[in-house]
C-alpha cells in the first residue's frame, strides 16, 4: 500500500458507540468509509444517512463479499467478535476489533491464531491509551520530568451505573454481562497502566456488585505490581461521579508519581504537575475536547492508517494485546481466591 492511496473501510455495528467510529473515519483524508452493516438494518440505514455512507447491509458476510474493503472495523459486543473476525480472516481482510477482544482468554488466543494463520493484521480498538492526557503523560515520563516513576493510581467514577435503568440508554447489554467492571471497563486501564509504566507481573483484587439490577461486578479495588518495581492501584465504582462537567470525558482521575514529583489528571482533562518540594501548577497542553475521550477514537484510527499505508509503528496489535486479557484473567482469579496472582513472564510466546 503506497502513500498515494486511501483505505476502503467497512464497519460492522451501528450501536451507540459506533457513531464515534463513523465520525472518525469520515474525518480521515486517507480513509474511505464505503459500507455499514448491522443486524438491525434500520440502525445501519440511520448511521449511513448520518455519515454519508452509500451501502447498507444486515449481513456481514454479504457486505464483505460485495464491498471487498481493505479494512473492516468491528464495533459490536464481544460475543460476536469470533464470528466476525473469522469472516475477515477467511477473506484476507485486515480488521480492527473493539475491546473486549473476546468473551474469554481462550477465545482471544484463538482469534489471534486465526488472524496469524490467515496473514491478516488484527488490531484491537483500545482507545484509552490514545486519549491526549495519557499521550502527554507518557511524553513527560519519557522526558524524565517525574524522575523515576514508582506509582500510578486511577479512581474510576463515571456515575452512570445507578438504579434499575443503569446503562440502558446507551449500552443495555452491560446489564447482562456476568463479568462487567473488569472485562468491559478496567481493561482500558490495564492497557493504559502498561502503556505508562510497563509490564505487570502480579495482581491482587477485591471485586463486588453494588447495583443489584446488573449481573456482574460494578466496583472493586485492584493492586498491580509492575516488573520495574512500581505499583498501581485501580479504584473502580461506576455508580458515583467525580468532579467534572462531563464525567465520561476522563471517566475519573489519575495520579502518576515519581521521584521527581506528581502528575495529576482531573475531570476536565487538565494535567497538574507538582514537583517534589514545590507547588502544584497546571501543565498546559493542547487537545480537542470532541466526541469521546478527547477524540481518542479518531486518534487511534489515524494511527492505524499511518501503519497500514506508511508502515509506521503499530500499537495494540492483537498478539501483544493478549497480555491485557491475561492480566484480566488473573484479576478475576485473584478476586475468586483472595490472593496475589503472579502472571507468566513468557507471554510473548503465546
- Each residue of 33-67: pLDDT tens digit? 999 999 999 999 999 999 999 999 999 999 999 99
Instruction: Please tell me whether residue 158 adopts helix, strand or coil conformation.
Output: strand
pLDDT digits (tens, 9 = 90+) for 84-99: 999 999 999 999 999 9
CATH class of 7-125+298-315: alpha beta
pLDDT digits (tens, 9 = 90+) for 7-39: 999 999 999 999 999 999 999 999 999 999 999
- Report, as an integer, the average pLDDT of 64-78: 97
In the chain, what are the domain boundaries? 7-125+298-315, 129-285+325-342
Q: Cα 152 vs. chain centroid, distance in angstroms?
A: 18
Residue 192 grid coordinates: 493504559
pLDDT computed for residue 46 by the predictor: 97
| Residue whose entry in the numeric block shows the C-alpha cell 482507545 | 127
pLDDT above 50 (res 304): yes
pLDDT computed for residue 347 by the predictor: 43
Largest CA distance in the chain: 64
**What is d(CA 337, CA 259) in angstroms, rounded to the nearest whole number?**
34
pLDDT computed for residue 4 by the predictor: 67
Banded pLDDT at 344 (limits 50, 70, 90): confident
- Report, as an integer, the average pLDDT of 103-124: 97
pLDDT computed for residue 269 by the predictor: 98
- Report, as an integer, the average pLDDT of 326-350: 86
Element (H, E) at 108: helix 105-118
pTM of the model: 0.94
pLDDT above 60 (res 337): yes
Provide, rounded to the nearest whole percent, the portion of the chain with pLDDT above 70.
97
Q: Cα 292 vs. chain centroid, distance in angstroms?
A: 12
Q: Compute, in degrees rounded to 10, the torsion defined by CA atoms 86, 88, 92, 94.
A: -120
Q: Which of 45, 31, 94, 83 is nearest to 61 (CA)?
A: 83
Count the alpha carbons within 13 Å of 145 in the hemisphere toward its beta carbon: 16
| Residue whose entry in the numeric block shows the C-alpha cell 501548577 | 281
pLDDT above 50 (res 100): yes
pLDDT digits (tens, 9 = 90+) for 242-265: 999 999 999 999 999 999 999 999
pLDDT digits (tens, 9 = 90+) for 175-224: 999 999 999 999 999 999 999 999 999 999 999 999 999 999 999 999 99
- Domain covering 129-285+325-342, topology: Dihydrodipicolinate Reductase; domain 2 (3.30.360)
pLDDT above 60 (res 3): no
- Report, as an integer, the average pLDDT of 312-341: 97
Helices (H) and strands (E) in the chain, counts: 9, 15
pLDDT computed for residue 1 by the predictor: 42
Contact status, residue 130 vs residue 299, Cβ threshold 8 Å: yes
Amino acid at each position: 500500500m503506497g502513500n498515494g492511496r486511501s483505505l476502503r473501510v467497512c464497519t460492522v455495528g451501528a450501536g451507540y458507540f459506533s457513531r464515534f467510529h463513523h465520525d472518525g473515519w469520515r474525518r480521515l483524508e486517507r480513509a474511505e468509509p464505503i459500507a455499514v452493516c448491522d443486524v438491525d438494518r434500520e440502525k445501519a440505514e440511520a448511521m449511513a444517512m448520518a455519515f454519508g455512507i452509500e451501502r447498507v447491509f444486515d449481513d456481514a458476510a454479504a457486505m464483505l463479499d460485495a464491498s471487498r474493503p481493505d479494512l473492516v472495523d468491528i464495533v459490536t459486543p464481544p460475543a460476536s467478535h469470533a464470528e466476525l473476525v473469522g469472516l475477515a480472516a477467511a477473506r484476507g481482510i485486515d480488521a480492527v476489533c473493539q475491546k473486549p477482544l473476546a468473551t474469554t482468554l481462550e477465545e482471544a488466543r484463538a482469534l489471534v491464531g486465526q488472524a496469524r494463520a490467515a496473514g491478516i493484521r488484527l488490531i484491537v480498538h483500545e482507545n484509552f491509551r490514545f486519549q491526549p492526557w495519557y499521550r502527554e503523560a507518557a511524553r513527560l515520563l519519557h522526558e524524565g520530568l517525574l524522575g523515576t516513576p514508582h506509582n500510578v493510581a486511577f479512581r474510576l467514577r463515571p456515575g452512570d451505573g445507578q438504579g434499575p435503568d443503569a446503562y440502558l440508554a446507551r449500552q443495555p447489554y452491560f446489564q447482562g454481562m456476568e463479568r462487567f467492571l473488569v472485562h468491559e471497563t478496567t481493561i482500558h486501564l490495564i492497557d493504559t497502566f502498561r502503556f505508562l509504566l510497563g509490564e505487570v507481573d502480579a495482581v491482587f483484587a477485591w471485586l463486588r456488585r453494588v447495583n443489584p439490577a446488573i449481573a456482574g461486578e460494578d466496583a472493586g479495588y485492584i493492586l498491580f505490581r509492575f516488573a520495574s518495581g512500581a505499583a498501581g492501584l485501580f479504584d473502580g465504582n461506576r455508580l458515583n461521579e467525580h468532579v467534572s462537567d462531563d464525567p465520561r470525558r476522563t471517566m475519573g482521575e489519575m495520579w502518576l508519581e515519581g521521584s521527581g514529583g506528581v502528575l495529576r489528571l482531573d475531570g476536565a482533562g487538565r494535567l497538574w504537575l507538582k514537583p517534589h518540594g514545590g507547588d502544584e501548577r497546571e501543565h498546559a497542553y493542547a487537545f480537542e475536547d470532541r466526541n469521546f475521550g478527547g477524540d481518542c477514537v479518531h486518534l487511534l484510527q489515524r494511527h492505524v492508517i499511518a501503519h497500514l499505508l506508511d508502515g509506521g509503528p503499530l500499537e495494540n496489535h492483537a498478539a501483544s494485546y493478549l497480555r491485557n486479557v491475561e492480566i484480566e484473567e488473573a484479576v478475576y482469579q485473584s478476586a475468586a481466591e483472595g490472593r496475589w496472582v503472579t502472571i507468566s513472564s513468557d507471554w510473548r510466546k503465546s
